[in-house]
Structure 1
Amino acid sequence: MPDWHTLTYVVVDVEGNGQRPPDLVELAAVPIVGGVIGEPVSWLVKPDTPIKHFATRIHGLTNKDVADCPPFADVTDHVLAALDADALVAHNAHVDVDVLRRKLGDWKVPELFDTLKLARRLLPDVGSYKLGSLVEAFRLADEIPEGLTPHRAAYDALVAARLFVHLAAKARSVEELRGTSGGEGDDAPALF
C-alpha cells in the first residue's frame, strides 16, 4: 500500500464575487510535498463583474481592494505552475474546481481530494463539517502566520492543508484516502 506521502498535493481555496456563477476575486494554493505543508501563495484579481455586498461581508474584500489588481489572465501562468501537482485538495471542492475550470479553460483537474467528504468518512462523530468547525475542533489555526484571517483564500487553504494532513495521517495510505481499501472496491467516485 503506497503511503500518502508519495503524492504531491496542492490545496486550493477561492474567494468569489458573489455572482452566479461566482467569478474569482482571490485564489490561494498551498503545496504539500512529502507530507510537509509549504508556504501559501495567493493572488488577488479584479473580477469581470463587481463584488457583491454579501460576498464582501464574508471575505472582507471590496471592489476598491481589487480595483488596481490584475485580471486573472495576467496571473494564469503563475496559477497553473502552482497547481502542477499529482493531486488537488480543497474543502467542499466542487466550488473551487468549478471556478478554476471556468477560469483555466482546458486545464485538466488532477486527482481530487475533498476534505469535506474525507472528514465525513474518516471522522464520523465530529458533528459539524464546516471548515471553521473542523479548524476549531483540531486546533488547525494554531500558529497561523500573522495577517492571515478566516474566509480569506490563504488562511482557508492553509487550514485546509492542515486538515488534509490530519485526515491523511488517520488514513495512512493513498488507497484508504481514496476509499478504495477496506472492502469499498476500486470504483470510488472521482471526488474523494
Structure 2
Amino acid sequence: MNFSSWPSLLVVDVEGNGTNPPDLVEVAVLPVRDGQPDTSTAGAWLTKPKRPVTPFAARIHGLTNQRLEGEPGWEEISDQVHTLLDGSWICAHNAHVDYKALSAHLPRWQPTGVLDTLRLAKNTYSGLPKYSLDALIEHVQPDLSAAPAQRHRATFDAYATAQLLIAMAAHYGTWDQLVAAAVPPGLPGAPEPEEEPTLW
C-alpha cells in the first residue's frame, strides 16, 4: 500500500454519557499521515454533557459526572472539532456509531468518506470468532506502547484503531481497494454500484 496516495484521513473515537441518543463526553481525532498516526496534530476534548453520565457508561470509560464537572459544554468546543474534521475522510471502529453521534452534534459537517475497521477486519481476517476492538488487538498485536490513556478512553481507542487500520491496509494494493473493503454501504465514500448493462 502506497500511503502517500491516501487523502486526508482522521481516525475518530467518541465516548458518550450512556443515554440514547447519547451526549458526547469525549472526542478524539487522530490524523494518519504516511502510514503512521500523527499524535502531534491530534485533537482530544472532554466535554460536560447536558444530561448526567449513567453509572454504566462511567464504569466503562471512567468519566464520571464529577470528573466532567469543570469541562466545557459541547457548544464551546464544537467549532474546534468541526474545523479539524472538515474536508477529510474519517475512520472508526463500528463507524456507524461514531458517524451518527458526530453528525447529530455537528449538523453542518459531512465527511468526505467513512472507513470502518470493523467492516475492513471482516473482509481482511475472515473466520475470526469476534471482531471487537479487543479481539482485533489480540489478533493483530499492534504496537500500542505510545497509546495515550487506557482502553475505552477515546484517545486510546482512536490510537488502537489507527494502528489496526494501518496493519490491515497492508493487505490491499490501492486506496480504492481499501475503500471497497472498508466503507459500509450508505455511508459517505461508498463506491457507487455498477449499473447493469441495458440494451438501449
What range is the shorter-chain TM-score in? 0.7 to 0.9
Q: Which residue number corresponds to residue 163 of structure 2?
A: 162
Q: Which residue number corresponds to residue 61 of structure 1?
A: 63
Shift of the 96–155 alpha-carbon distance from structure 1 to 2, 3 Å rule, reads same
**Amino acid in structure 2 at the alignment position of 1:29:** V
RCO comparison, higher one (Cα < 8 Å, 6+): 1
Conserved 8 A contact 1:26-1:45: yes
Q: TM-score, normalised by structure 1?
A: 0.88
Of residues 78, 99, 102, the one that matches 2:101 is 99
Q: Which residue number corresponds to residue 183 of structure 1?
A: none
Identical residues among aligned pairs (%):
37
Offset of residue 85 of structure 1: 4.7
Q: Which residue number corresponds to residue 80 of structure 2?
A: 78
User: Which is further off, 93-102 or 124-133?
Assistant: 124-133
Unaligned runs of 5+ in 2: 191-200
Q: Which has more radius of gyration?
A: 2
Unaligned runs of 5+ in 1: 181-187
Show CA shifts across 1:69-106 (max 9, x none). 00111111221222135311000011111110111112
Within 2, Cα distance between the matches of 1:190 and 1:33? 26
Conserved 8 A contact 1:27-1:153: yes
Within 1, Cα distance between the matches of 2:53 and 2:22? 10
Offset of residue 34 of structure 1: 2.6
**Amino acid in structure 2 at the alignment position of 1:75:** I
**Amino acid in structure 1 at the alignment position of 2:160:** V
Q: Which residue number corresponds to residue 14 of structure 1?
A: 14
Offset of residue 162 of structure 1: 0.5
Offset of residue 136 of structure 1: 1.8
Conserved 8 A contact 1:135-1:141: no
Offset of residue 157 of structure 1: 0.4
Q: Which residue number corresponds to residue 152 of structure 1?
A: 153
**Amino acid in structure 1 at the alignment position of 2:25:** V
Aligned-partner SS, 2:170: helix
Shift of the 8–35 alpha-carbon distance from structure 1 to 2, 3 Å rule, reads farther
User: Which is further off, 42-51 or 136-145?
Assistant: 136-145
Q: Which residue number corresponds to residue 176 of structure 1?
A: 177
Q: TM-score, normalised by structure 2?
A: 0.85
Aligned-partner SS, 2:108: coil
Structure 1 outlier segments of 4+, above 4 Å = none
Offset of residue 140 of structure 1: 2.3
Within 1, Cα distance between the matches of 2:118 and 2:24? 21
Conserved 8 A contact 2:144-2:160: no
Within 2, Cα distance between the matches of 1:141 and 1:174? 23
Aligned-residue CA RMSD (Å): 1.9
